[in-house]
Structure 1
């Protein structure tokens, strides 16, 4: 059994998946760090870490690269850039990456959440996505998604995902934490 007090969740505290990761971390006594930026209002305030402009820049990447890697373009470039920069900090600090969303036919994940998945792939991190339509966990292994039953094993892990969390996904997250910490 893992000693939950020795673990840290890196997230963003946004409504939906990130807030649920945070509630579960709090329930299990896991340290929570939520990256944010000026002008952003996350749902969770626990462990809030507002990134200064110079810190955000560490996660800066050309929006052309993001668009190409994810096969789509983004509107509201200024706001999405800050979100993408803060996602870098989550993934850079978390060794295992846990995501809730939808895997698309091109093997990316829908929305801004998908950038965290792409960074996880680029950083060669253990990467797990709870796919809400298929109601199961998948891991990126050998350039493909494979059905798995993940466990949080690394002391520094990231949790991110959709704002539109289903009840099945909430149950899957609760089961993940129970499997990992009881």
Structure 2
């Protein structure tokens, strides 16, 4: 079991899954860092790091590459670009990526959450997704999603996911913390 005081959660502080990850981190005494940028609204603003234009550029990537990797196009690429750039910082800092959302038939994950998952795959990082439809965790192993009961086993991790968090999704996040860090005293 990982020592809580040595662990950092990297997230974005958005409504839904990211807020749930942050609240659980706070309850378990885990350090939390939320990346955002000017003009972006977050629900959870604890330990926010506001990325400058220069810092955001470090996570810049062609929207063509993002579209190809995700198997979809982005009508408002200018708006999503900063989100994608901030996701880079989360995945670059956190080791294991945990996401809550929906795994699609093409093995990508729905929405902006999917880019964090794809970056984890590209960076060869452990990545686990709680699929809210299937009500189960899956980890990316040997180029496929495999049913799993993941734990936080490194000193840094990413918590991200959908804004439309279900009760099951919220429970899955809490259960991840219990499996990883034990019950709250």
Alpha-carbon distance in 1 for matches of 2:3, 2:65? 39
Q: How does 1:64-75 map to 2 (within 5 A)?
A: 64-75=64-75
Partner of 1:31: 31
Structure 2 residue runs without a partner (length 5+): none
Residue 138 of structure 1: aligned partner: 138
Taking the aligned partners of 2:93 and 2:130, their CA distance within structure 1 comes to 20
The one-character-per-residue Cα deviations of 1:57-77 (angstroms, maximum 9, x if unpaired) are 000000000000010011221
Q: What SS does the corresponding residue of 1:14 show, helix, strand or coil? A: coil
What is the CA RMSD across the aligned residues, in angstroms? 0.6
Q: Taking structure 1 as the reference length, what is the TM-score of the superposition?
A: 0.99
Counterpart of 1:43 in structure 2 is: 43
Unaligned 5+ runs, structure 1: none
Show structure 1 runs of 4+ deviating over 3 A: none
CA distance in structure 2 between the aligned counterparts of 1:20 and 1:179, rounded to whole angstroms:
16
State how far apart, in whole Å, the 2-side matches of 1:2 and 1:59 are: 29
* Cross-structure match for 2:176: 176
Q: Per-residue deviation at 1:2? A: 2.4
Superposed CA offset, 1:118-159 (max 9, x none):
000000001000000000000000110000001101111001
Aligned length, in residue pairs: 182
**Secondary structure of 2:39 counterpart:** coil
Secondary structure of residue in 2 paired with 1:137:
strand
Maintained 8 Å contact 2:2/2:155: no
Residue 113 (structure 1) aligns with: 113
For residues 85 and 180 of structure 2, the distance between their equivalents in structure 1, rounded to whole angstroms, comes to: 29
Secondary structure of 2:22's match? helix
